[in-house]
Amino acid sequence: MNSSGCEIHYVDSHTEGEPTRVIIQGGPELGDGTIRQKFDRLRKDSDTFRRSVIKEPRGYEALVGALLLEPSESSAVTGVIFFNNIGYLGMCGHGAIGVAVTLHHLGRIELGKHRFETPVGLIEVDLLGPHEAAIENVPCFRLESRVTVEVEGIGKVTGDIAWGGNWFFLVENSPVPLSSNNIGRLSDAAGRIRKALNRDRITGADGAEIDHIEFFGKPISPQANSRNFVYCPGGAFDRSPCGTGTSAKLACLAADGKLRPGEQWVQESIIGSRFKASYRIDHSNQVIPKITGRAFICSKGVLLRQPADPFKNGIEIGEATPRS
Ligand code: PYC
């Protein structure tokens, strides 16, 4: 290490507006094993890495990080762990599309089908062009339908609980009009709903926290079936239609018999960008969503963490200024 400290090499992209920072060099040493085991070690022993990459002054709230790692599955071209401003994501749909486009930009993969190993399982990625990829997600399902919760300042809110690679509470009729002028009000409503779910101990399977809230309404584009707003665990909103959120939606549509296998669903985001989505049923009768979207490279470079920098591990808003 010199006065520049450790160097972290990255490529930034956006997938339908939602940013992904792919770490291609300079991540922590996580030993051998599966991506799930490396994920557990990263969370337990090296969380300063996540904070320094995502939080200000090197990152920002909306950014999702993707740490590339050696996969344990021989069929996978890479292992990947996704993380955000407050923690880690089991899977990330927009992020997986961003990783595929980034690997192609770096000359590491050709167009065509590939597999990525994630902490929640293997996903299939079909790189359709330099700026477009389709991901086949892990099996997704609806856990419960029409769950009603009393929310402070809003009243009763009813939604479905579904797994799309992360846990979602899906509210069919948004309590606030779905306009990008209303991001503050939408975020406030979603935050209150998440608080009410926690208060009433309404969870995903095995007591898992429902950390994503998703609102739906009528789309603006005639080419879309629905518009959404997705509130992410750290308080940011998803600029894209959210890959795992769209997967959770497909699981609900399939459970309600409203979308057949192979039929297309176009999900519009709060900023008007779109994912094309469909699903198939696998041999064990599980819903396997496919999400197609575009990603573009925005920048690449090197993050520096100088040893003397009091904010080399990111700024914890609400915490006292660190002293050396
Ligand atoms: O695309 O799955 C997604 C996602 C999750 C959180 C932000 N984006």
Residue ranges of the domains in the chain?
A: 6-136+298-305, 141-281
Specify the CATH number for 141-281; select among 3.40.1190.20, 3.10.310.10, 3.90.660.20, 3.40.50.300.
Answer: 3.10.310.10
How confident is residue 201, by pLDDT bands cut at 50, 70 and 90?
Answer: very high
55's CB contacts (< 8 A; 6+ apart) are 85, 313, 314, 315, 316
Query: Using one digit for the tens of pLDDT, what is the confidence trace for 271-284?
Result: 999 999 999 999 99
Is residue 59 over pLDDT 80?
yes
What local confidence, expressed as pLDDT, does residue 322 receive? 45
Is residue 219 over pLDDT 60?
yes
- Nearest 5°: the CA angle 120, 201, 41 is 35
In ligand 1, the atom with minimum distance to the C-alpha of 245 is 2
Q: Which residue is closest in CA terms to ligand 1's atom 8?
A: 242
Q: Which residues line ligand 1 (CB under 6 A)?
A: 18, 64, 89, 92-94, 232, 238, 240, 242-244
In ligand 1, the atom with minimum distance to the C-alpha of 241 is 1
Q: How far is the CA of 187 from the centre of ligand 1 (A)?
A: 16
- Report the distance separating Cα 99 and Cα 309, nearest Å: 30
Q: Exactly one of 140, 242, 252, 298 is catalytic; which is it?
A: 242
CATH topology assigned to domain 6-136+298-305: Diaminopimelate Epimerase; Chain A, domain 1 (3.10.310)
Identical fold between 6-136+298-305 and 141-281: yes
Average pLDDT, the chain: 95
SS3 305: strand
- Report the distance separating Cα 145 and Cα 202, nearest Å: 12
Q: Give this prediction's pTM.
A: 0.95
What local confidence, expressed as pLDDT, does residue 204 receive? 98
Tokens of residue 42, six digits: 């990263």
Is residue 220 over pLDDT 80?
yes
User: What's the mean pLDDT in 130-145?
Assistant: 97
How confident is residue 318, by pLDDT bands cut at 50, 70 and 90?
Answer: low
How confident is residue 317, by pLDDT bands cut at 50, 70 and 90?
Answer: confident
Quick check: is 298 catalytic? Answer: no
Q: Which residue is closest in CA terms to ligand 1's atom 5?
A: 92
